[in-house]
Amino acid sequence: MTSLPDIHGVCPPRFAAVKDAFAANFTDAPEGLNEQGARVSVCVGGEVVVDLWAGWADTAKTVPYGETTLTPVFSAGKAVMALLIATCVERGLLDYEQPVASYWPAFGQAGKDAITVGQMMSHQAGLPGFDTAEDPAIWFDRAATLARLCAQAPMWAPGTGSGYSPIVIGYLAGELFRIVDGRTMGTALREDFPGLDLWIGLPEAEHGRVAQMRKPSRAVDLGVVDTIKAAAFLDRGSAPGGRGSVEWRTIELPSANLHGTAKDLARIMAVVADGGMLDGRTVLSPGVRAEMLRERIHGRDRVLPFDISWAAGLMRNEGLHIFGPNPTAAGHCGWGGSCAFADPDARVSGAYVMTRQSPHLIGDPRAVRLVEAVYGGM
């Protein structure tokens, strides 16, 4: 019988249920009990109260999963992307209600001239992916990717509904940020949030800290597949490919390749949960935080087979019930089960990262069980 990996970190008695749930995520694993690593971190009032990790960072079980291990969190990084866009709104560089094309004229081609920043961030722009097959290597050529997307017409009428964009939104938000701020998102993340072990574009010198992922044992369930869902997830060129993991980790793709620790994901999400503050510094004013979090569209998503209430880059908890009991909580899930969330009502933020991926598109049961345990200790 395989034994449970040692659990390291801190967890006060009031949150003992979180540690139990974390252990259960290992013991309930149908396979690979000791061939996985994971970490869960929780902040209350901006302070880290729970930080647990266990397992292995590699499938050969030679490198323990540790406090400095970096984990790819895939789309959970969209929560950080949304926050970076919000910092531009805070500084008056962007307005959620203004057309993207007013800042980036080339984007306004092919019927996209009226799409607002808020609509783009809430996946209403009609650009879930390329509308025809592409060479997967195009994603490594930023200029070619942006030119292709600017020239493309929306796949549905913008503003009439959401259609989740797994990859494209990172190029769009990243370029909009660069135009108005002058820096890339990766550079701004390092400069404006110093001390956080979060990376959009990971320098090769840090690659040795990255945990190895174990892919899901079965494909995700997208429901009935149509051209929109195929463009987002299934068509040739729907995701970067053909260049290897070194180039993938190194490019700046804020929608999909953030690497980091659960602790610092929870800490940066505390900006949203704890009055716009981080370590005593105001990052977002109450008005901008409210605009970031308010509902922009609600209904059946054209890509993900769920009814989703989208804020400006975050999934709102209303109707989903994956980020605790409060409908005003918001966050983002990542491919395979990672998540980052913030609850302004409870002043709670948290993150879960792991190496054993599941086929759940959102609301991985392991993450949900941990979040529920957190509120049991509040």
What integer pLDDT is reported at residue 244 of this predicted model? 87
Closest CA to 122 of 306, 253, 291, 315: 315
What distance in Å separates the CA atoms of residue 207 and residue 211, rounded to the nearest whole number? 9
What distance in Å separates the CA atoms of residue 10 and residue 7, rounded to the nearest whole number? 9
Contacts (Cβ under 8 Å, ≥6 apart) of 367: 322, 333, 337, 338, 339, 352
What integer pLDDT is reported at residue 1 of this predicted model? 43
Beta bridge partners of 342: 330, 349
Beta bridge partners of 54: 7, 38
Verify whether residue 3 is a known catalytic residue: no
**How does pLDDT run across 22-60, given as a tens digit for each residue?**
999 988 765 545 568 999 999 999 999 999 999 999 989
Confidence of residue 128 (pLDDT cuts 50, 70, 90): very high
Cβ contact 336:74 at 8 Å: yes
**How does pLDDT run across 157-201, given as a tens digit for each residue?**
999 999 999 999 999 999 999 999 999 999 999 999 999 999 999
Phi and psi at residue 372, to the nearest 5°: -60, -40
Contacts (Cβ under 8 Å, ≥6 apart) of 263: 39, 41, 48, 51, 197, 351
Q: Which of 41, 75, 238, 358 is catalytic?
A: 75
Q: Which strands make up the sheet holding 258-260, listed edge to edge?
A: 71-74, 258-260, 198-200
Amino acid at 6: D
What distance in Å separates the CA atoms of residue 194 and residue 187, rounded to the nearest whole number? 11
What is the pTM (predicted TM-score) of this model? 0.97
For strand 330-333 and strand 339-343, is the pairing parallel, antiparallel, or unpaired? antiparallel
